[in-house]
Amino acid sequence: MSRAHALGVLLIAIFFAAATAILLTVGMALWAPGSGFEAVWHLYPERRPLLMAYRAWLAPGFLLLATAMASASLGCFRRRRWGWWLAVGIFTVNGLGDAAQLLSGHFLEGGIGVTVAATILFYLSLPKVRGIFT
Give, for all 134 residues of the chain, the pLDDT tens digit: 578 789 999 999 999 999 999 999 999 999 999 999 999 999 999 999 999 999 999 999 999 999 999 999 999 999 999 999 999 999 999 999 999 999 999 999 999 999 999 999 999 999 999 999 99
What is the C-alpha separation between 76 and 81, in angstroms, rounded?
9
What is the C-alpha separation between 95 and 76, in angstroms, rounded?
19
Give the phi and the psi of residue 69 in degrees, each rounded to 5: -65, -40
For residue 90, give the DSSP letter.
H
For residue 134, give the DSSP letter.
-
pTM, 2 dp? 0.91
3-class DSSP state of 3: helix
pLDDT of residue 130: 96
Give the contacts of 34 (CB within 8 A, at least 6 positions apart): none
pLDDT of residue 22: 96
